[in-house]
Amino acid sequence: MAVRAVRGAVQLERDEAGHMEEQVGALLTAVLERNGLTADDLISIWFTATPDLHSDFPAAAARKLGIVDVPLICAQELDIEGAMPRVVRILAHIESDTPRADINHVYLGAAAALRKDIAQ
């Protein structure tokens, strides 16, 4: 079994805790489903949020999904002029036999513009 990394992002419409929980939950669910993973395959998840998000920790959505025994950490994304606002990004480390080239990175909604090189 190899260690792989899966990336993803979602842009929130507004900075509200319930909305963040819904959108980050959808992102995590999509990452798991598109890669045929369960919570047992997760090693750790890094979350970043743009500096304009203050309502909650993105990792709280993972806990509400039942991802309770996986190390999670949140950090603030760099404040770059012109960057897309209200974005939560993830970097999930997983155990998988899937070749690196076949990992499905997930960019939902408007966040798909962040990685035009990846077919969604």
- In this predicted structure, the answer to whether residue 113 has a pLDDT above a threshold of 90 is no
What is the model's pTM? Answer: 0.94
pLDDT given at position 1: 86
Say if CB 87 and CB 10 are below 8 A apart: yes
Q: Which of 104, 68, 90 is nearest to 23 (CA)?
A: 90
3-state secondary structure of 60: helix
**pLDDT tens digits, 7-32:** 999 999 999 999 999 999 999 999 99
Given a cut of 80, whether residue 120 has pLDDT beyond it is no
Q: Among candidates 54, 53, 65, which has minimal Cα distance to 92?
A: 65
Report whether pLDDT(119) > 80: no
Give 47-66 pLDDT, tens digit per residue: 999 999 999 999 999 999 99
Neighbours of 76 (CB within 10 A): 10
Domains of the chain, CATH where assigned: 2-115 (3.30.1330.40)
Confidence band, pLDDT 50/70/90 cuts, at residue 118: low
Mean pLDDT within 83-97? 97
∠ at Cα 90 (56, 69), nearest 5°?
Answer: 75
Q: Find all residues with CB under 8 Å of 5, minimum gap 6, and list them.
A: 91, 92, 93, 94, 103
Q: Which pLDDT score is estimated for 115?
A: 79
